[in-house]
Chain A
Amino acid sequence: MSKKKAAKSGLTERAGDFAKNIWLAGLGAYGEAYDEMTNQQKSITELPQLFKELVEKGAGIESSDQPAASGKRSGKKRSKAQATLSAGKSLLEGESLEQRIRRMREGLSLNWPTAQPPSEIQQLEAKIDRLADELASIKELLSAQQLSSAKKTSPRKAKTASKAVSKKAVQKKSSTTKVKAKKTAVKKRQKPNQR
């Protein structure tokens, strides 16, 4: 019987008779409760207190006396219960909850971009790079070619834009608006090219 076997184990010597009895009672209760739980699926509300105790008890037994726990009736059932608890289904054991939450958080934000096929992203990136290069060279070309024509158009624009301002300001402003006008001229010409 399990009582005899447990009595022989090293646990008894360490903790004495009193502790042994408590341990045995716990083990017995564990087996009893587990039978009850598996045989007739009880209503959920009745279980938690019991289960809480059992989990604590199980953890205590596991750390204090490994071989004794694996003997006989209740031991076998416990190992099954243990397997269930530790197979990635346990919140209370293993790594800290904060760590696991952080990993899930990271996983979600990291997973998301890779959810699309990476090749597709690479293709798109390559395309963007090519377009950016093309755009840069076109810009250069245009700014060199259109410098003179931009100069022709800019004074008129600058005048209309700064009519209300005093003459000194006009002179200052016209130089800045010239640059702006140049840019818009370049942009205007670029657009049809891009298409």
Chain B
Amino acid sequence: MKTKDRILLTSLTLFNDEGEPNVTTVDIAAEMDISPGNLYYHFKGKEAIIEQLYLAMEKDLNDILQAPLTDDLDAENIWLYLYVVFEQIHKYRYFYRNIADILGRYSKLNLRFAKLLNKKRQTAAATLGILVDNKVIDQKLIDSGAINNLSDSIAMLLTYWMSYTEIGQRSDINPVLSIHRGVFQVMSLVAPFLQRDYQSFYQECRVLFEALSSELD
């Protein structure tokens, strides 16, 4: 691995573990056993590192959000898809935990993130549309206004779930469990609109989540 990539990876780990504001470039260099000068050669300060990490996150998430939605989308796929999305969010959790603070400090990222957020909304709306077409969601229970509203809620949940759940929580919570919590929460948002045949699917989600909670907690 190139030094530059190693710096990014180490920074990401430190940011996630210790919190981004508490980590300095000196810490990062010390963790990697390189001189601060060497680090400075690759990145002119923490801002540059954060920018690169943000771009990597943006790319990861964009790749997922722009992935072609297949027509045979069903409830199980949605669940798996959500899991992967939350996994990505968890990978860059330092950012989501501290979102207002980071965007406030790095105004360059503010606009970019607004775009990404918009993409989250669009993908959510497109996915819901397909689920209506596939009769997973009951079209009698939902209209375009409700779809927009629901997409907003999902985008908000994806964005702020990390900071919401981590308030007053033990720091040693199992990462897999926190991902499952997010997935289940989104499924719960959509559950009231599911077709009768798929109500059982939501019950399965619930059973699964309860089982995982007691197992992993």
Contacts and interface: CB of A to CB of B under 8 A. Distances in A.
Contacts of A88: 74, 76-77
B200 A101 contact: no
Nearest to A113: B63
Interface stretch (B8-16, B27-35, B149-157, B191-199): B191-199
A89 B203 CA distance: 11
Interface residues of B, number: 31
Main secondary structure of the interface of B (DSSP, over half): helix
Nearest to A45: B206
Contact of A101 (B84, B197, B199, B206): B84
B55 interface: no
B67 A111 contact: yes
Contacts of A108: 63-64, 67, 81, 84
A44 interface: yes
Contact of B76 (A84, A91, A105, A107): A91
Interface residues of A, number: 29
Interface string A73-117: 000000001001100111110000100110111011101100100
Contacts, number: 78
Nearest to A104: B80
A191 interface: no
Contacts of A51: 200, 203, 207
A119 interface: no
A44 B200 contact: no
A41 B192 CA distance: 11
A48 B68 contact: no
Contact of A89 (B68, B192, B198, B208): B198
Given A51-B203, A90-B201, A104 B74 contact: no
Contacts of B80: 100-101, 103-104
A141 B84 CA distance: 51
Interface of B: 63-64, 66-68, 74-77, 79-81, 83-84, 87, 191-192, 196-208, 210
